[in-house]
A and B are shown apart, each in its own frame.
With several copies, the nearest count.
Chain A
Amino acid sequence: MKFSFKDEQLLFAEATREMLRKDCSPEAINEFVESDSAAMPELWNSFASMGVLGITASETLGGLEMLDQDFVLIMEELGRAACPEPVMEHAVLSIPLLEECNNKSKYTSILKSAINGEHRLSVALESQYVVGADSADYLLLFRDSLLHLVAKESIVLQRQASVDSSRRLFSVKWDTNSGTVIEGDSDKVRSLIEITKLRAEVSTAAQCIGVAQQLLDMTVQYVQERKQFGKPVGVNQAIKHHLADTGKAIEFARPMVYRAAWSLNKGDTEAELAAHMAKLLASKAVDLACKTSLQCHGAIAYTLEYDLQIWLKRGLTLSSSWGDIYRQREKIADCLGL
C-alpha cells in the first residue's frame, strides 16, 4: 500500500497546468465563447504536442499508453482550467473504444490522426447529447446495443444550448443503415461500454475536483482582498466556515477519485463501486464549491464580467454529467445490494 504519485506523474500534470495557464486563460475562454467557434485550435495543438491527446493510446500508434491513475491528474487540470475542449471525450473515452474494437486495424489511420490532433473524436454512450460534436471528425455513438463510428459528413447536428456556453452540446442524427456499426451486440461491447462509462465517471470526477479547487482558491484570494466594515471579509467566521467546509469536501473526495482511477486498471473487485463513489463525492464537492464561492464573493460573481462564472457554470454541468449525486447513490446502492 503506497498511496502517492510518482514524480513523472506529478511533473506531467504540472506541465499541463502551465500550458493551460497560457493557452486556456479566462480571456481565451471568453473569446472562444463570444466568437461562437467550434474549437480552440491553438489549445488543441498544444494538447497534441504535449501528447495529451494520445495519453491512453498504445505506444505503437504513437500514444503514451497511460493508465487511469497516470492521467487522472491531467483530468483534474482540465477542470482547474475549465478547459472547453472535449479532451476527455476524445482522448480518454473515444480512443480506447476504437482501440478495443474487433477491427482495430481498420481504424489505424483515424487513431493516428486522433493522437496527433489532426482529427477530433467525440462520444455519446448513455447521454442524448454529444459534447463538441460540431468540431468532431468522427463520433462514437452507442445506440440499441450497437457501437457506431460515424463520420461528420453523415451526421445532422442540432445545437442544444447549455447554461455553460463554453460547453457545446448537440443532438445527433444519422442514418443507422449506413454501415456505421463497428461493434455488434455482444458481451464484449457491453463490457467495453461499461468500463468506458466508469472511466468517464472517474475522469469527470477529477475534473469536478479541479473546478472545485479553482473556485475555492479564487474565493480565498478574493475574501483576503475584499474589504467591508474596514476589514477583509475573510475575517468573518461565516466566510471561514463556508470555505472550511468546502475545503473538507474537496480534501475527502480527492483520494477517492485517485483510488477509483487506480482501481479501474488493477482488477480491483471494487472498481465499479469505487468509480461511483468517486463521482458522488466529487459532485458533492463541486456543488458546495459553487454555492460557497458565489456566496462569499457576493454580487461581483453574479456577472459575466468576473471570471468566477466560468467555473460556476462548469461546476454546475459537470456535477450532473455522467451521474449526478442522486443517480450515483442509486448505482452505489445497487453495488452494495441495498
Chain B
Amino acid sequence: MDLFFDANQTAFRDEIRHWINENKPNDRWAPMDTQLGFEQHRTWERTLFEAGWSVPNWPKKYGGRDCSLIEWLLYEEEYYLSGAPGRVNTNGISLLGPTLFSWGTEEQKDRFLPKMANGDEIWAQGWSEPDSGSDLASLKTVAVRDGDHYVINGQKTWCSRGAWADWIFCIVRTDPTSERHAGLSYLLVPGNSPGLIRRPVSRLDGEPAFAEIFFDDCRVHVENLLGDEGAGWSVAMATASSERGLNLRAPGRFLAAANRLVQLYMKAIERNPLLPSAIRDQVVDAYVNAQAYRYQVFQKATMLMEGGTLGAEASYMKLFWSELDIEIHASALRMLSEQGELVEGAPDAEDSGNWMSGYLFALAGPIYAGTNEIQRNIVAERVLGLPRK
C-alpha cells in the first residue's frame, strides 16, 4: 500500500491544474441545456480536445493521452476544483465511449471516437420509453431491417441532452417477435435522420434538458449497429456499468462540491455565529463522505489496474454518489436559509443560485442510471447473494 502519488502522477496533476486555470473561460455561460449554452459548451469541448485534455484516458489515436486510471482521477479532481464549465458531451465520452471501446469495430471506433472527443458530435441517450423505465427490457421501439437500413418506429423519452444532440444512442427491438432481453439491438442514430422528431421537455429547473424522441419510419444504416443484431442487451449492460461505476461520476465532482460547502460554511458562520450547530455536523458528514468516495475509488482503481474487474458492486458506488450529491447540496441550502430558495437571476442569490440548481440536479441522481431501489436490489441479490424470489 502506498497512497502517495508518484512523480509522474504529481507532474500530470500539476500540468492539468496549470493548463485548466490558464484556459478556463472567465465568463459565465448560458446553461448547457439551452440552445445558446449548448453551443458555448461545444466550443469548450474543442478547446479541451486541442490541448489533449478532452479525453486524457483514451488512446492517443483517438485524441487522448493514454493516461492511467489514477491519473484520470487526478485529472477529474483538478477539473472540478478549477470550476471549469461542465462537459456537454458526458453521455458520449463517459457512457457511449467505453461501450464503443468494448463493442465497436475498428471502423466504428475510428468513425465515432475522435468526433466525440473534439465536440463535433455530441450525444444523447435514447433508452427509456414512456412505459419502460426501470423495466428497460420491456421496451417497444422497433427497428426492422430493410436492405442496408433499419427502419425505426417508436418513442423514447427523458433523453438527456436530447434537445440539441447530434447523435443518439438507442436500444431498440430488432426482432419484433421477441420478448424481454432477447431481440434487442444497440443503434447509433444521427439526430438529423428523416423521420426523427424531437420534442424538448423541461426539467425541474426549467431547462429543456430532456427530449422526447419520436421515430416515424426513421432509416438508419446498418453500419451504425453497435455489437451484433440481437446482442443489444449485453452491449447496454456495458454502458450501464459505466453509469454506475467510475466513468460517469469520478470523485473530483463531489470533492470540489464538498470543498465549496466548507468554504460556504466558513462564510456563513462568520456572517451569523448563531448558525444552528447541527449544520456544522452536516458539513462534516458531507465532507467525510466525499473523502470516503475518493478512497473507495482509489481502491477500486488499484484493483482494476491490477487486473481485477468491477461487477455488481458498482451499484454500491451509484447509491453512494447519488446520496452524497444530495447531502452536499441540501446542507448548503440549510445553511443559506431563506436565501436557499433563490435561483439564478435573484440579486441576493449566493453563488448565482448554483446551490439550488445543483440540488435540483442532484435530486435526479437516485432516479437516473437505474433507480436506487433497483441498485439496492442488485447489491442484495448479486453482491450479498439474497434470493431473487
Query: CB distance A266 to B3 under 8 Å?
Result: yes
Q: Which of B346, B387, B389 contacts A160 (CB 8 A)?
A: B346
Q: Give the complex CA separation of A336 and B1 in angstroms.
A: 26
Interface size of A by CB at 8 A reads 83
Q: Which of B296, B364, B384 contacts A302 (CB 8 A)?
A: B364
* A-B contact number at CB 8 A: 249
Chain B residues with CB under 8 Å of A200's CB are none
Query: CB distance B340 to A244 under 8 Å?
Result: no
Chain B residues with CB under 8 Å of A338's CB are 262, 265-266, 269, 280, 283-284
Q: Which of A69, A223, A233, A295 contacts B1 (CB 8 A)?
A: A69
Given contacts A228-B135, A299-B133, A320-B340, contact A237 B201 (CB under 8 A): no
Q: Which of B337, B341, B347, B377 contacts A171 (CB 8 A)?
A: B347
Query: CB distance A252 to B3 under 8 Å?
Result: no
* Complex interface bits, A295-338 against B, C-beta within 8 A gives 1, otherwise 0: 10011001111000100110011001100101101101100111
Query: CB distance A237 to B377 under 8 Å?
Result: yes
Return A198 CB to nearest CB of chain B, in Å.
16
Query: CB distance B376 to A1 under 8 Å?
Result: no
Q: Give the complex CA separation of A330 and B122 in angstroms.
A: 46
Interface size of B by CB at 8 A reads 92
Chain A residues with CB under 8 Å of B343's CB are 161-163
Q: Which of B135, B296, B387 contacts A224 (CB 8 A)?
A: B387
Chain B residues with CB under 8 Å of A321's CB are 338
A198-235 contacts to B, CB under 8 A, are 216, 220, 223-224, 227-229, 231-235
Query: CB distance A304 to B348 under 8 Å?
Result: no
Majority secondary structure, A binding face: helix
Q: Give the complex CA separation of A220 and B386 in angstroms.
A: 7
Query: CB distance B1 to A309 under 8 Å?
Result: no
B379 nearest CB neighbor, chain A only: A244
Q: Which of A256, A259, A303, A313 contacts B203 (CB 8 A)?
A: A303
Query: CB distance A162 to B346 under 8 Å?
Result: yes
Query: CB distance A160 to B348 under 8 Å?
Result: yes
A223 nearest CB neighbor, chain B only: B386
B259-299 contacts to A, CB under 8 A, are 262, 265-266, 269, 276, 278-281, 283-285, 287-289, 291-293, 295-296, 298-299
The interface centre, meaning the residue of B1, B2, B279 with most chain A CB atoms within 10 A of its CB, is B1
B265 nearest CB neighbor, chain A only: A338
Chain A residues with CB under 8 Å of B29's CB are none
A287 nearest CB neighbor, chain B only: B330
Query: CB distance A234 to B204 under 8 Å?
Result: no
Q: Which of A2-10, A15-23, A114-122, A137-145 contacts B (4 or more CB under 8 A)?
A: A2-10
A123 on interface, CB distance cutoff 8 Å:
no
Chain B residues with CB under 8 Å of A128's CB are 338, 348
Q: Give the complex CA separation of A320 and B337 in angstroms.
A: 7
Return A257 CB to nearest CB of chain B, in Å.
10
Q: Could you list some 9 contacts between A and B, CB below 8 A? A: A4-B1, A228-B134, A239-B373, A241-B373, A243-B384, A294-B363, A295-B372, A302-B367, A312-B204
Known interface pairs A224-B385, A266-B3, A268-B3; 5 further A-B residue pairs with C-beta atoms within 8 A, sorted by A's residue number? A4-B299, A247-B379, A256-B292, A338-B265, A338-B280
Report A's interface with B, CB cutoff 8 A. 1-6, 69, 127-129, 158-165, 167, 169, 171, 216, 220, 223-224, 227-229, 231-241, 243-245, 247-248, 251-253, 255-256, 258-259, 262-263, 266, 268, 277, 280-281, 294-295, 298-299, 302-305, 309, 312-313, 316-317, 320-321, 324, 326-327, 329-330, 332-333, 336-338
A-B pairs, top 6 by smallest CB distance, nearest first, are: A240-B380, A326-B276, A228-B135, A244-B376, A304-B202, A244-B379
